[in-house]
Amino acid sequence: MEEAAELREKLARAAQLLFFKSHMRPGVKAWELKRDLGRNYLEVIRMLDQELQRFGLTVKRISEGEEASESDRFLVTLRGHPTLTTARTFGWRIDDMAILTVAIAYILSKRGKAPLKEVERLLQEKFPKWKVEQTIDRFIRRGYLEEDDEGMIYVGWRARAEIDQKTLLSLLLGKEKSKPNESEETSPG
């Protein structure tokens, strides 16, 4: 009985750490979870993730490098894909979503990094220069994009957590599985 109470307490503490922002960035580093929850923190996080499924949420682990480490960040995000209406309730404008989508797609098409000036030039074909610069800067501050000292931009930690990149690319490339249009004629071969 005491073990169950301790587990409930750890689950509650894990939820508090993940839901309440105590740093500039949302989420919690692995070492913080280990410190507060103990060595079995990954098991506690897995159990919390199962509980959050009921609410359409999930706990994601974002690694800074190739391998898992104690500097990895855990955060709560939506499970699945939000609808356009849902995304708008989060304060996203449709043109901001378009700018982020094009920027990420372009970066991914360039093997994960692209010159900032190229991305801005591409976006300025459809949006005013001031809008592009302002929005890109905001996405860098929020962690959706990252910029290095050489003027290259990358997909940021937050985009890796919140955006299913494979689905995004398949939608943009038209490889989404869809039903044939009823107005189209189908031929047997």
pLDDT tens, position by position, 106-146: 999 898 899 999 999 999 999 999 999 999 999 999 889 99
3-state helix, strand, coil in the chain (%, to 5): 50, 15, 35
How deeply is 140 buried, as exposed, middle or buried, from its count of CB atoms within 10 A (0-12, 13-18, 19+)?
Answer: middle
Strand order in the sheet with 57-62: 28-29, 73-78, 57-62
Looking at every residue in the chain, the average pLDDT score rounds to 82
pTM recorded for the entire structure = 0.67
**Which candidate, 189, 66, 174, 165, places its Cα nearest to that of 111?**
165
pLDDT of 44-75, one tens digit each? 999 999 999 998 888 988 887 666 788 888 98
Instruction: Give the type of residue at 111.
Output: R
